[in-house]
């Protein structure tokens, strides 16, 4: 009798031992992983996934997949202390982080504060961006230019340039300023375009205005009409034409069609009305076409027709030889949507295409549409830099 019970006890012990061995083999062979502490690499914590273990036990041996030759271990390493994810990823075409758009109020005796406030409250600005005031709101006399408002406008432009240079903002929208009082306050540049180019150490820059129907680049900017012919040269047209092409690509135009407008009436009529179109502009068109196979360049194009052709969709942009030739048609068709963009800067600077409108200051009649479009384009350019 004693041997019988001894045999039963031995069978039970062996059965329990076999069940324990199978239990550990069926669950631990592929369901465990390690957590390692980077500060104490010698310490390893073994963690068993209890849900997978229970499922394996319920399924039984028949449902088990063949065990791998070696245990599969997943190692999760914690980031070192003090690690912070970078704000932007260099080299990326699209920035996934929330862009920061800085803005100034311009000459606060004019409509700058009004159009900025209306744009921010319009509900039409992209929600995936932060809008940050550069400078401060000041109390000045409305409706008339004055030295105090010009001084604040100048100071805020300096702060905006510093923010762009340091990268604390991804783009800047500047409200209109009064050039006359700004120059009296010590501003020595012809306009904001030249100011930001110098402050951001950019020699390769240009002025561009873009609206819903027309985009215009300028070969010469704030200079007298008398000086334009002497300032035009083929190399400059090639340089600015390249900036204009790059801007079109940045806006998503895959193969930009760009016309170079002629300087003289009827494109000079083969030298009858001046030879600049044949000797300066035509060679620039040929060279741009040779070095940029990803775009189409045309010209010298008759100036009294080319802007209409662009509005009708035959061109994506026009390079104008001087300021008013390009801005008159642009403001005629796109006054409320056009935006001034300084091409070539490491970070974008934009502004509405209108002035301070002192006669409207404080009347609640200023149209913020151009400012709204400036903010919208600033976000797009900041995201695709």
What pLDDT is recorded for position 17? 59
Query: Rounded to whole angstroms, how far apart are CA atoms 153 and 134?
Result: 11
Place of tokens 């963690």: 47
Place of tokens 């047209």: 237
What pLDDT is recorded for position 12? 65
Could you tell me the mean pLDDT of each successive run of 10 residues in the chain, 385 residues long?
A: 58 60 46 41 41 47 46 38 36 63 98 97 95 96 94 98 97 97 95 96 97 97 94 97 96 95 89 90 98 96 96 98 97 96 97 96 95 97 85
From residue 41, give the alpha-carbon distance in Å to each of 30, 52, 81, 95, 327.
Answer: 23, 27, 14, 35, 67
What pLDDT is recorded for position 268? 76
Chain-centroid distance, C-alpha 200: 17
Q: What's the number of CA atoms in the CB half-sphere (13 Å) around residue 177?
A: 30
What pLDDT is recorded for position 272? 81
Q: Which residues contact 295 (CB under 8 A, 6 or more apart)?
A: 245, 248, 255, 256, 257, 258, 288
Question: Could you tell me if 383 and 252 are in contact, meaning their C-beta atoms sit under 8 angstroms apart?
Answer: no
What pLDDT is recorded for position 79? 38
What tens digit of pLDDT does each residue of 53-67 get? 444 445 554 444 444
Q: By C-alpha distance, which of 290, 287, 170, 276 is closest to 220?
A: 276
What tens digit of pLDDT does each residue of 181-223 get? 999 999 999 999 999 999 999 999 999 999 999 999 999 998 9
3 state SS for the chain: CHHHHHHHHHHHHHHHHHHHHHHHHHHHCCCEEEEEECCEEEEEEEEECHHHHHHHHHHCHHHCCCCCCCCCCCEEECCCCCCCCCCCCCCCCCCCCCCEEEECCCCCCCCHHHHHHHHHCCCCCCCCCEEEECCCCCCCCCCCCCHHHHHHHHHHHHHHHHHHHHCCCCEEECCCCCHHHHHHCCCCCCCHHHHHHHHCCCCCCEEEEECCCCEEEECCCCCCHHHHHHHCCHHHHHHHHHHHHHHHHHCCCCCCEEEEECCCHHHHHCECCECHHHHHHHHHHHHHHHHCCCCEEEEEECHHHHHHHHHCCCCCEEEECCHHHHHHHHHHHHCCCCEEEEECCCCCEEEECCCCCHHHCCCCCCCCHHHHHHHHHHHHHHHCC
Question: Could you tell me if 149 and 109 are in contact, meaning their C-beta atoms sit under 8 angstroms apart?
Answer: yes
What pLDDT is recorded for position 8? 63
Question: Does the model's pTM come out above 0.85?
Answer: no
Directed axis angle between helix 234-250 and helix 282-291, to 10°? 50
What pLDDT is recorded for position 31? 37
Q: By C-alpha distance, which of 285, 329, 279 is closest to 303?
A: 329
What pLDDT is recorded for position 78? 38
């Amino acid at each position: 009798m004693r041997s019988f019970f001894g045999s039963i006890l031995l069978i039970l012990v062996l059965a329990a031992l076999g069940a324990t061995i199978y239990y550990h083999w069926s669950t631990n062979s592929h369901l465990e992983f390690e957590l390692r502490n980077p500060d104490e690499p010698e310490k390893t914590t073994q963690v068993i996934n209890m849900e997978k273990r229970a499922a394996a036990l319920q399924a039984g041996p028949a449902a088990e997949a063949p065990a791998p030759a070696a245990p599969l271990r997943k190692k999760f390493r914690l980031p070192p202390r003090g690690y912070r994810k970078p704000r932007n990823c260099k080299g990326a075409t699209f920035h996934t982080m929330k862009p920061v758009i800085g803005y100034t109020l311009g000459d606060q005796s004019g409509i700058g504060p009004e159009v900025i406030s209306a744009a921010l409250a319009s509900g039409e600005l992209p929600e995936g961006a932060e809008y940050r005031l550069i400078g401060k709101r000041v109390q000045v006399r409305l409706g008339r230019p004055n030295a105090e408002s010009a001084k604040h406008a100048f100071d805020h432009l300096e702060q905006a340039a510093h923010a762009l240079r340091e990268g604390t903002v991804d783009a800047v929208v500047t409200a209109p300023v009064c050039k006359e009082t700004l120059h009296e306050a010590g501003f020595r540049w012809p306009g904001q375009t030249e100011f930001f180019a110098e402050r951001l150490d950019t020699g390769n820059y240009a002025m561009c205005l873009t609206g819903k129907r027309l985009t215009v680049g300028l070969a010469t900017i704030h200079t007298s009409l008398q000086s334009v012919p002497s300032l035009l040269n083929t190399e400059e047209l090639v340089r600015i034409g390249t900036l204009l092409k790059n801007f079109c690509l940045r806006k998503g135009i895959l193969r930009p069609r760009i016309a170079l407008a002629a300087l003289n009436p009827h494109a000079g009529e083969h030298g009858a009305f001046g030879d600049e179109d044949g000797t300066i502009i035509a060679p620039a068109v040929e060279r741009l076409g040779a070095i940029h196979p990803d775009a189409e360049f045309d010209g010298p194009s008759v100036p009294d027709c080319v802007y209409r052709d662009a509005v009708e969709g035959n061109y994506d942009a026009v390079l104008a030889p001087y300021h008013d030739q390009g801005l008159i048609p642009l403001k005629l068709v796109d006054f409320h949507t056009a935006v001034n963009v300084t091409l070539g800067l490491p970070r974008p600077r934009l502004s509405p295409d209108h002035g301070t409108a002192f006669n409207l200051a404080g009347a609640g009649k200023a149209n913020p549409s151009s400012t709204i479009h400036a903010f919208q384009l600033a976000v797009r350019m900041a995201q695709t830099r």
